[in-house]
């Protein structure tokens, strides 16, 4: 059985809205941050992640909502009166370059409204993970479903099927539609994106449900609840994964309170005990395909924070990990990653932030170093003679590939052995108000979250090695206190 799920019971707070494991492994009070046991043998504790904190803050309300739903998943007859007849027997399909939200949303909406789910293109690695995790089959391609209609006819590569109804999910622009869909067959749109150019135009009124939330699957989950329907466990799990994906584990700029509450409710309904483990495993699957990940996504996707209280150093260390089959593709994006790491470090008030890129095929690790404090601690932890690039921003970690077994224990030992931040780290010329804003490009098929207007992108990040010169560092080199 999956480690994220247990057989469902009706005991109060059984799953704690996905935070049961965080509560079971609660560490000592650090004053400002609740902690979770990470490695008891070395007495290592980490902060609770944002998603763990979010679900635990809402566990009582989420459990009450889940308990108020009918125990059976069958439709309550009177509810049929409130579901739009136009969507019954429709095909629910997402956009081209399909992602988890468009696939999970199509599956959930098809079950809710009584139709069939379809995909507009091949599913990605993250979607494959979620489908396997919850035991759901890959929906049929939209072209194949349309061809199955006995009245379908092919005209100039567009399949026109008399009586076929299509509901677009997670998009409403014709440029993102699968070309096999005849716009005249569209009877509905369920989406969470802005209305931009090339929005579909119809000759008659259609069903529209567009809400400014972080995920289309949040809309579907909310509709289940408002109609008194209990989604099947597998669908609740798929919707949960989709919301975590589209909102970057509830940390993205489009995240709303509706997304947070639906994650807590769906975690309860699907029987998830460890929401952070599910999110981490999903990110690992997602990172196998790098095209859909921005620098912000890479730095924040699987990051954990650790607090230390020692004579030489008292502060917080963040450690992010990206697992991939092609580490060179990520390392080649160093000019994007370094400014984002410094921005994230300042926004989260961290003293040190690392990013480890792990090649899961060759089993080797590479450490991305964004500043002099990171360089100093990395040398103390992994050896003064560890191989570095010329600028000191990349360290070869050899066959070290595990954050839990290889990275954090070594960093902990270095700090306990007296490591302290270097005295000359450069001149601080950046504050949080200069870090720009995180935005989603509505025209980007991957809906990547990118940082715009950051002074770090204009000034750059100086080499960590240059700061080792102490007072010899020129004013021009002192670009950022990293």
| pLDDT tens for each residue of 173-190 | 898 899 999 899 999 999
β-pair type (152-155, 91-93): unpaired
Q: What does the mean pLDDT of the chain come to?
A: 83
Mean pLDDT, range 212-228, rounded to an integer: 95
Mean pLDDT, range 194-214, rounded to an integer: 90
Angle between the 100-113 and 216-226 helix axes, to the nearest 10 degrees?
20
| Cα four-point dihedral sign 427, 432, 434, 436 | positive
Q: Is the pLDDT confidence value at 429 over 50?
A: no
| pLDDT tens for each residue of 406-420 | 999 999 999 999 999
Distance CA 415, CA 419 (A): 5
Q: Is the pLDDT confidence value at 367 over 80?
A: yes
| pLDDT tens for each residue of 42-61 | 778 888 999 999 999 999 99
Query: In 11-86, where does DSSP find H-type helix?
Result: 20-24, 50-57, 59-68
Query: Which residues, in sequence order, are CB contacts of 183 under 8 Å at separation 6+?
Result: 174, 177, 200, 201, 202
- Min mean pLDDT across 18-22, 125-129, 215-219, 269-273 is at 18-22
Distance CA 429, CA 456 (A): 10
Contact 40, 34 (CB under 8 A): no
Q: What percent of the chain has pLDDT over 90?
A: 49
Q: SS3 breakdown of the chain: % helix, strand, coil, rounded to 5? A: 40, 20, 40
Q: Give 397-400's long-range contacts (Cβ < 8 A, gap of 24+).
A: 397/356, 397/364, 397/365, 397/366, 397/367, 398/364, 398/365, 399/363, 399/364, 399/365, 400/365
> What is the structure's pLDDT at 175?
86
| pLDDT tens for each residue of 271-319 | 999 999 999 899 888 877 776 688 888 998 888 889 898 889 999 999 9
At residue 149, φ and ψ (nearest 5 deg) are -70, 120
Whole-angstrom distance between the N-terminal and C-terminal Cα of the chain?
44
Residue in this structure with the two tokens 């940390």, named with its chain if needed: 251
277: DSSP letter: H
> What is the structure's pLDDT at 39?
80
Distance CA 413, CA 318 (A): 16
Q: Is the pLDDT confidence value at 159 over 50?
A: no
**Closest residue by Cα to residue 169 from 126, 227, 111, 129:** 111
Query: In 287-371, where does DSSP find H-type helix?
Result: 295-300, 327-331, 334-347
> What is the structure's pLDDT at 82?
67
Distance CA 422, CA 441 (A): 39
Structural element, H or E, at residue 466: helix 464-467
Q: Is the pLDDT confidence value at 401 over 70?
A: yes
| pLDDT tens for each residue of 86-143 | 899 999 999 998 999 999 999 999 999 999 999 999 999 999 999 999 999 999 999 9
> What is the structure's pLDDT at 164?
84
């Amino acid at each position: 059985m999956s480690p994220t799920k247990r057989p469902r019971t009706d005991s109060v707070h059984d799953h704690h809205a996905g935070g049961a494991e965080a509560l079971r492994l609660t560490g000592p009070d650090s004053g400002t941050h609740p902690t979770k046991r990470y490695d008891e043998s070395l007495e290592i504790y980490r902060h609770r992640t944002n998603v763990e904190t979010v679900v635990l803050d809402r566990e009582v309300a989420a459990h009450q909502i889940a308990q108020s739903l009918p125990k059976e998943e069958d439709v309550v007859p009177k509810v049929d009166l409130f579901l739009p007849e136009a969507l019954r027997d429709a095909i629910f399909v997402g956009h081209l370059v399909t992602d988890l939200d468009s696939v999970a949303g199509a599956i959930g909406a098809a079950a809710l409204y009584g139709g069939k789910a379809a995909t507009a293109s091949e599913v990605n690695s993250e979607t494959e993970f979620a489908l396997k995790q919850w035991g759901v089959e890959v929906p049929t391609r939209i072209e194949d479903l349309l061809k199955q209609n006995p009245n379908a006819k092919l005209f100039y590569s567009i399949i026109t099927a008399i009586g076929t109804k299509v509901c677009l999910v997670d998009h409403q622009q014709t440029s993102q539609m699968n070309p096999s869909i005849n716009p005249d067959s569209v009877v509905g749109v369920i989406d969470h994106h802005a209305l931009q150019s090339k929005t579909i135009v119809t000759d008659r009124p259609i069903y529209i449900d567009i809400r400014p939330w972080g995920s289309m699957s949040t809309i579907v989950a909310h509709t289940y609840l408002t109609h008194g329907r209990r989604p099947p466990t597998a669908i609740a799990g798929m919707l949960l994964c989709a919301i975590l994906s589209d909102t970057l584990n509830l940390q993205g700029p489009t995240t709303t309170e509706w997304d947070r509450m639906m994650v807590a409710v769906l975690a309860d309904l699907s029987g998830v005990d460890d929401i952070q483990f599910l999110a981490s495993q999903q990110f690992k699957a997602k990172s196998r395909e790098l095209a859909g990940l921005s620098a912000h996504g890479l730095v924040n996707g699987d990051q954990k924070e650790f607090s230390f209280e020692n004579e030489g150093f008292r502060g917080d260390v963040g450690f992010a990990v990206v697992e991939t089959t092609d580490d060179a593709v990520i390392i080649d994006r160093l000019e994007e990653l370094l400014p984002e790491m410094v921005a994230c470090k300042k926004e989260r008030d961290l003293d040190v932030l690392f990013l480890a890129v792990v090649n899961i095929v060759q089993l080797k690790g590479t450490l991305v170093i964004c500043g002099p404090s990171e360089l100093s601690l990395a040398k103390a932890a992994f050896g003064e003679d560890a191989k570095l690039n010329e600028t000191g921003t990349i360290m070869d970690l050899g066959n070290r590939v595990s954050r839990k077994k290889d990275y954090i224990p070594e960093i902990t030992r270095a700090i306990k052995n007296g490591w302290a931040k270097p005295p000359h780290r450069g001149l601080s010329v950046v504050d949080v108000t200069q870090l720009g804003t995180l935005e989603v490009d509505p025209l980007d098929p991957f809906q990547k979250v990118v940082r715009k207007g950051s002074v770090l992108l204009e000034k750059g990040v100086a080499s960590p090695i240059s700061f080792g010169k102490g007072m010899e560092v020129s004013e021009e080199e002192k670009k950022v206190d990293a």
